Amino acid sequence: MDAAAWDARYADPDRLWPDTPSRWVHEVLAHRPPGRALDLACGEGRNAVWLAEQGWEVMAVDYSAAALERAAAAEIRRAVHVQWVHADVTTWTPPRPVDLVLIAYLHIPADERRRVLHTAASALAPGGTLLVIGHDAANLTRGVGGPRDASVLYTAQDVVDDLADAGLELVRGVEVLRPVNGTDAVDVVVELRRGGEEVPT
């Protein structure tokens, strides 16, 4: 889907996603000391706003102007500050190193995914974390929801392979089940770290 298609989806008066952060974002990051964070393809901003509430200095990027309008409204409602950037994450370049890059449920063709992952890796400061969350490729046959196009799904190993030359340490790369209305979606959670100062877990 392009930006116009997402703008059309966000034209619905109701939010597409909950106000709360992704359960995996919360699970991995709830007890991390805050720093500078970058949320790529932030959508309505649920993860970015939550990170700001935890004390992170957050920059969040999305190519849907309608999504960013909703995100900015959530920022005001929750009395936090996020720097919103209207840009295509497949071509955008981060302006400064950060301690965390989050990519949550960004499903694009493999060549574009690799480009975004390398942009994310290059943005990490020493000790920084790259957290990638999405619908696992197995969700197509064993889970519910998410894209029905296999070409935009991936596994933890795909992410690891994409970043084999990026100099990052794999912390975890797992397939996880997420309960959805009495059944399960199959997600992938990959956490990688840039060498340097130790990041508490």
| pTM for the full predicted model | 0.91
Q: Is the pLDDT of residue 10 over 90?
A: no
Q: How confident is the model at residue 196 (pLDDT cuts 50, 70, 90)?
A: confident
Tens digits of per-residue pLDDT, 86-112?
999 999 999 999 999 999 999 999 999
The rounded distance, in Å, linking the Cα atoms of 156 and 122 is: 19
**Hey, what domains does the chain have and what are their CATH numbers?**
3-10+19-194 (3.40.50.150)
- The first and second tokens of residue 85, run together, are 């950037």
Across 154-181, average pLDDT: 97
Q: With contact defined as beta carbons under 8 Å apart, do 107 and 134 qualify?
A: yes
Residue that has been written with the tokens 């994450």 in this structure:
89
Rg of the chain on CA atoms, in Å = 16
The rounded distance, in Å, linking the Cα atoms of 167 and 164 is: 7
Q: Among 1, 80, 74, 67, which residue's Cα sits nearest to residue 37?
A: 80
Buried b (16+ CB within 10 A) or exposed e, 112-151: bbbbbbebbbebbbeebbbbbbbbbbebeeebeebbeeee
Across 159-185, average pLDDT: 96
**What is the structure's pLDDT at 27?**
96
**What is the structure's pLDDT at 19?**
76
Q: How confident is the model at residue 125 (pLDDT cuts 50, 70, 90)?
A: very high
Tens digits of per-residue pLDDT, 28-69?
999 999 999 999 999 999 999 999 999 999 999 999 999 999
